[in-house]
A and B are shown apart, each in its own frame.
Chain A
């Protein structure tokens, strides 16, 4: 099967600083791939390399089986949407949409047809003769998407397109973007630091750190089977509880607590004893009547309660360790109380303490 975008052994350094290291990534036709990571992880850099806006130090980039490593951005079959919209302020919306087509010497009638189609898809027809200054943030971002849309490109690149919008609009446009992808079925590569955007939009997520891809997988895999401690910690809000201890004979021991890992799927059935870290998501901790049904049961002392409406976040003490538990929004608990909790080892994650990889 051929890929839409293939990145082979990509290296990029600015002087002595290596930003991308031997990066390999294959993106399927029509896939919505999200590059996720905190700032400085190289995700935007990678996107700029794919767009041809940054020259790579080593390696190759293929788009639709064409080696585009040295190609100009406009010759790569990509359209790009930027965080700041980057609309040309002195041109009308129509001018913005047709600028790329004029540069490519597309016939006038064809330009008009494509602009009309893009405007219809994005519902910006009434705005065509306005200047960007007279548009709202959401409208501007729609025009920016339209600019990529008219060029009939194979691959859409999004560089944190929703980060400049306010929270409510961001959710609306996120849904629209997903709908647009379902409708167009183009390959889309989307950079964000927002894990909710990543989880909701992506077919696959590439979690990046320090110029490397830490894990590439479906949102479900990334969430349920994080490959290492970094991914486990990065994904999920509130983040995972980690307890450092020892793995002995398939049982995890921390201080004087013993957690038999029955039901946990080890990557290697013969996992040797070693120092390890267990990760348990706050939302995977059973409370109330369900706690009694869980394979492992503990009691924690509540330290602090954060009611958030839809749910309640409880900061508790498990032994000497801080332990976050996510409870129902209706939960009526108070600091100082003792809370029975239940843990299912099958839903937990175990990591090697030294290599930080999943066991």
Chain B
């Protein structure tokens, strides 16, 4: 029979662009994204204005005259207490805390997770349970005991003390992350490697590590953002000379003396948030893949 002889609906079903469902869906999406984007817009705009323009009170208006002065001041000139070298010092402190903390915690946690997933030993389940309980202990209860411990080992106020704290506190959740990822890998792969004569480290480096890239990216993002954004540990376990960026940001923004320099504060806040932001943009795709992989298999 020829095509023309077909009656009634045929072929692909026509789609209506402005259906009620679509309007609801996109309407909600637009409102929600406005909710998140508007404050960011205000911050960026304000940070590019001079103080006289800010005093005029037009919060949402674009800058009439773009100036990068507030950014420069936030980075290298804003005063916190007696120091007037801006956020730059806090930035380098944070970098010095961040890099060893991330490397150390992820290295140890990945080996932990691998061992717990593949090399069950007597008491490994108990060990794992204890570690997981660690994830649920409120940080606040541990603050003072850690002060004493750091003092006893002479790391109180030292950057390395904070590195140690971050490494320890990241351990439960990271170990869980890695253990679940490695548990989800086919067990036969591990068996095959053992038959092929690879040992504990051989299997870890040659078989497991190359397959674990997505989960490493997830761990790196979690740790980088977590440690970079940390305020509580930073303010407690360091001293003014070693304050991380977040603490210094707080000191700049909350300083009570003189005029409130909104443009400098906005620039300082954006500068502080830049590192996690860059990490998200750079690894977004891998991050989603890693989280999804863990979600489906773990």
Contacts and interface: CB of A to CB of B under 8 A. Distances in A.
Contacts of B202: 103
A84 B195 contact: no
Contact of A90 (B192, B193, B194, B210): B210
26 contacts: A52-B194, A53-B191, A53-B194, A72-B194, A73-B191, A73-B195, A73-B197, A74-B197, A80-B191, A80-B195, A82-B192, A84-B186, A86-B188, A86-B192, A88-B192, A88-B193, A89-B211, A90-B211, A99-B198, A100-B195, A103-B196, A103-B198, A103-B202, A104-B197, A151-B196, A159-B188
Contact of B206 (A78, A87, A99): A99
A79 interface: yes
Nearest to A75: B197
Pick from B197, B207, B211 the residue with the most CB of A within 10 Å: B197
A83 interface: yes
Given A88-B207, A89-B211, A90-B211, A100 B196 contact: yes
Task: Say whether chain B's binding surface is mostly helix, strand, loop, or mixed.
Answer: helix
Interface string B38-60: 00000000000000000000000
Interface string A26-55: 000000000000000000000010011100
Interface residues of A, number: 27
- Interface size on B, as a range, is 10 to 19
B99 interface: no
A99 to B, nearest CB: 5
A89 B189 CA distance: 9
B198 A51 contact: no
B210 A147 contact: no
B33 to A, nearest CB: 38
A73 B192 CA distance: 10
A84 B188 contact: yes
Interface string A87-125: 111100000000110011000000000000000000000
Contacts of B189: 86, 88
A160 to B, nearest CB: 11
A82 B188 contact: yes
Contacts of B193: 88, 99
Nearest to A157: B195
B194 A74 contact: yes
A5 B211 CA distance: 35
Contact of A73 (B188, B194, B206, B211): B194
Given A74-B197, A104-B197, A147-B196, A86 B210 contact: no
B195 to A, nearest CB: 5
A88 B192 CA distance: 9
B151 to A, nearest CB: 46
Which 8 pairs of residues, A with B, have the shortest CB-CB distance? A74-B197, A100-B196, A103-B197, A86-B188, A86-B192, A90-B210, A82-B188, A73-B195
A82 B194 CA distance: 13
Interface in B191-230: 191-198, 202, 206-207, 210-211
Pick from B188, B196, B207, B211 the residue with the most CB of A within 10 Å: B196
A232 B61 CA distance: 88
B195 A51 contact: yes
Interface string A10-26: 00000000000000000
Contacts of A73: 191, 194-195, 197
A52 B195 CA distance: 8
Given A84-B186, A86-B186, A86-B189, A74 B207 contact: no
A53 B195 contact: yes
Pick from A51, A80, A86, A147 the residue with the most CB of B within 10 Å: A86
